[in-house]
Structure 1
């Protein structure tokens, strides 16, 4: 019996190490898939469509790293309320917003926004919505740019 326990313990330890390695590899693979696919040169920047079918543009809000979902159907840049609370944004006025999910109550706020590639929007007026899942980069910012979308790429001429 005393010889069985160490052998069983060794096998159990080996299997636990293998399963842990597989688990960590899957986590690393998922993290890599979720990273924005972003390339930049002196003339343009390109965003590759993500695994979720959307374009994601890295940037900063009030100095905090943020990844925006590019939404050409959104009139205004919108933020989830939880993110606005973390950034300490103060409501300027209450508002109602027509979203794909219906009419939602929110508020307007101002925040300094910067995007990878050099685009700056200081004191940008944004909409803060309670049920939003991710920050949306709307046409209030995108409309300032010359961009095109083709074959899974979102290309922006550098300002």
Structure 2
């Protein structure tokens, strides 16, 4: 076996070189994937690890799609909130009601961005995010919401002062609450 043998069928070093080049290419693609995956996660979910500022203030960064999305809990169970100043109540996907310990109440009509929907009233025993904990929060169970994200509406936001500058939103408790 001569490495300079012109007959490729008899030269094992040539196929070994191609195999190593293929493996190196796969490793490079994997490294690019991990790098860009982390970059996308940071851009699309900048609040996944909430930073709580001194004085019970919560600072949120806008995600890549222009929304403020952040983790919290409903009745002690982890959830993802999307801040929605256009929502009157906290809106919970109806398929999560049992998992979150929520009881469906009276039927009501809710006007959403997707049109009018029949929802059910409910009350959230404990809703928490960052330094904030609210109890007995009015909410609705929306059967039209397919995902796992909760809309954090004005039934919560009315208890907070919020200021937006650029891509940063600061939430603070209202004076006297």
Do the structures match in fold with TM over 0.5?
yes
- Mapped to 2, the partners of 1:96 and 1:66 lie a distance apart of 24
**Residue in structure 2 matched with residue 12 of structure 1 by the alignment:** 22
**Residue in structure 1 matched with residue 172 of structure 2 by the alignment:** 157
Relative to the length of structure 1, the TM-score reads 0.85
Higher relative contact order (CA 8 A, sep 6+): 1
| Structure 2 residue corresponding to 1:61, chosen from 69, 74, 78 | 74
**Residue in structure 1 matched with residue 156 of structure 2 by the alignment:** 141
Segments of 5+ residues of structure 1 without an aligned counterpart are none
**Residue in structure 2 matched with residue 32 of structure 1 by the alignment:** 42
Does residue 113 (structure 1) correspond to residue 127 (structure 2)? The answer is yes
* Worse overlay, 34-43 or 123-132: 34-43
Maintained 8 Å contact 2:97/2:104: no
Relative to the length of structure 2, the TM-score reads 0.77
Q: What displacement does 1:39 show?
A: 4.3
Maintained 8 Å contact 2:46/2:61: no
Q: What displacement does 1:74 show?
A: 0.9
Aligned residues: 158
Q: What displacement does 1:109 show?
A: 2.3
- Mapped to 2, the partners of 1:121 and 1:43 lie a distance apart of 14
Alpha carbon RMSD of aligned pairs, Å? 2.1
Q: Which structure would you say has the larger Rg?
A: 2
